[in-house]
């Protein structure tokens, strides 16, 4: 067992995990105080509200992160207002699981990326993340650890919704975490390549992964992990048929995020250009070093610009394919939703998910990213 890592998001409390009342108001989270230690004795449990409040403050006070996450978060906190009148069962547990999953994975991603108030070495981050994934697999959680504490509470709420889904929920959470670890390993590999460099900016190099490895990683994250859990929490089956309906949108969203975060990822040591594309377009480490120097995407090397434009065009085609998918009529709901929601209300709820949740949460954002990228790159 590793010593507990200090990340800067380390609020503690004496209240056991299952007895902590999780705030459900966006402003309450923003104002929640990060509890320290008291009386010289370290409190035993992670304070989930305090940790989430710290992450929210970090997001909203950082201009780059604020634009990226605040709209999603403010929308997420409104879900309960939509789920209650829709008639979904166990709305409190459903909403709490949704919010806790988001913050658990936000914290996990920040730790692995090194994007926490207290900085950790890449090797520390990867070792810690592997340990958390093993704890999720075995169920042997350590209550002082925040990621484990989030998992305990998440699985408890999901067990209330459907105890038979708990093993699949663990698998889905593990798939998200495995994808985050994949990125952490790539950062480590890049750091290892550059650790002996006397002039990092002039000689920095990146690891180019194969298309197969990158696509498998994104499928594990966006389609299996995130989409599977989201379907379940919204009252739909975590099924192959439902995932097929949402795969074009998930793929388009991933392309949009990769385009939006391209320069930031390069700075962090992540290159999402497949090796096959890099070879075809003759993109080299020297070109990526020029990206680091560029103050605007218009100054990127032409071969990098060409690759990004290809990605935008592919993303737009995927959005067009999604628009042809019969989402509202073909999504299969769970037995829990079918038994709790009146027959006449189910089509309206499916339409709400297809035409409002997916539109505002994913489609509008992807379309904006593609428009902005087209304007900046051409």
Alpha carbon of 55 to those of 128, 130, 157, 305: distances in Å?
19, 22, 22, 33
Largest pairwise CA distance in the chain: 68
Q: Where are the beta strands (DSSP E) in the chain?
A: 12-13, 45-46
Residue showing tokens 């949740």:
357
What is the CB neighbour count within 10 angstroms for residue 77?
19
Kind plus residue range of the DSSP H or E element containing 219? none
Show pLDDT as tens, one digit a residue, over the chain (378 residues). Answer: 556 778 888 888 999 999 999 988 777 776 764 444 443 456 889 999 989 888 888 777 777 777 667 777 777 888 888 888 888 899 999 999 999 999 999 999 989 888 888 888 877 888 899 999 999 999 999 988 999 999 999 999 999 999 999 999 999 999 999 999 999 888 887 766 666 555 556 778 998 999 999 999 999 999 999 999 999 999 999 999 999 999 999 999 999 999 999 999 999 889 999 999 999 999 999 999 999 999 999 999 999 999 999 999 999 999 999 999 998 888 999 988 888 888 878 888 999 999 889 998 899 999 999 999 999 987
Buried b (16+ CB within 10 A) or exposed e, 251-272: bbbbbbbbbbbbbebbebbbbb
List Cβ neighbours of 27 (8 Å cut-off, separation of 6 or more): none
Residue among 175, 154, 124, 177 nearest 3 (CA): 124
Kind plus residue range of the DSSP H or E element containing 238? none
Residue among 320, 324, 319, 330 nearest 353 (CA): 330
What is the CB neighbour count within 10 angstroms for residue 286?
12
Question: What is the DSSP pairing of strand 45-46 with strand 12-13?
Answer: antiparallel
List Cβ neighbours of 54 (8 Å cut-off, separation of 6 or more): 8, 9, 11, 34
Residue among 154, 151, 127, 126 nearest 141 (CA): 151
List Cβ neighbours of 292 (8 Å cut-off, separation of 6 or more): 201, 204, 263, 266, 267
pTM of this prediction? 0.91
CA 166/CA 155 separation, integer angstroms: 6
């Amino acid at each position: 067992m590793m010593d507990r890592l200090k990340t800067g998001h380390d609020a503690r409390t004496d209240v056991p995990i299952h007895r902590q009342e999780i705030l459900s108001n966006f402003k309450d989270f923003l104002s929640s105080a990060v509890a320290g230690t008291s009386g010289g004795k370290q409190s035993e449990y992670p304070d989930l509200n305090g940790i989430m409040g710290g992450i929210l403050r970090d997001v909203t006070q950082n201009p780059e992160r604020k634009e990226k996450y605040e709209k999603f978060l403010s929308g997420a906190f409104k879900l309960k207002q939509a789920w209650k009148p829709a008639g979904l069962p166990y709305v409190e547990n459903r909403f709490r699981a949704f919010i806790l999953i988001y913050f658990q994975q936000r914290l996990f991603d920040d730790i692995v990326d090194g994007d926490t108030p207290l900085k950790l070495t890449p090797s520390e981050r990867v070792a810690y993340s592997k340990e958390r994934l093993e704890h999720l697999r075995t169920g042997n959680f350590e209550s002082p650890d925040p990621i484990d504490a989030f998992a305990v509470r998440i699985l408890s709420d999901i067990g209330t919704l459907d105890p038979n889904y708990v093993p699949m929920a663990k698998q889905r959470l593990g798939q998200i975490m495995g994808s985050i670890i994949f990125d952490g390993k790539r950062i480590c590999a890049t750091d290892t390549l550059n650790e002996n460099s006397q002039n990092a900016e002039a000689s920095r190099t990146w690891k180019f992964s194969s298309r197969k490895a990158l696509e498998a990683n994104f499928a594990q994250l966006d389609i299996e992990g995130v989409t599977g859990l989201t379907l379940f929490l919204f009252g739909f089956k975590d099924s192959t048929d439902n995932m097929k309906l949402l795969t074009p949108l998930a793929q388009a969203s991933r392309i949009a995020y990769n385009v939006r975060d391209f320069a930031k990822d390069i700075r962090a040591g992540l290159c999402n250009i497949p090796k096959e594309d890099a070879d075809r377009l003759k993109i080299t480490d020297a070109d990526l070093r020029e990206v680091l120097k560029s103050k605007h995407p218009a100054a990127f090397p032409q071969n990098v610009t060409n690759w990004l434009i290809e990605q935008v065009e592919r993303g737009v085609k995927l959005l067009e394919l999604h628009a042809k998918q019969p989402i509202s009529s073909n999504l299969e709901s769970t037995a829990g939703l079918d038994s709790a929601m009146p027959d006449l209300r189910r089509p309206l709820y499916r339409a709400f998910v297809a035409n409002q949740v997916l539109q505002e949460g994913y489609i509008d954002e992807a379309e904006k990213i593609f428009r902005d990228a087209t304007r900046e790159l051409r």
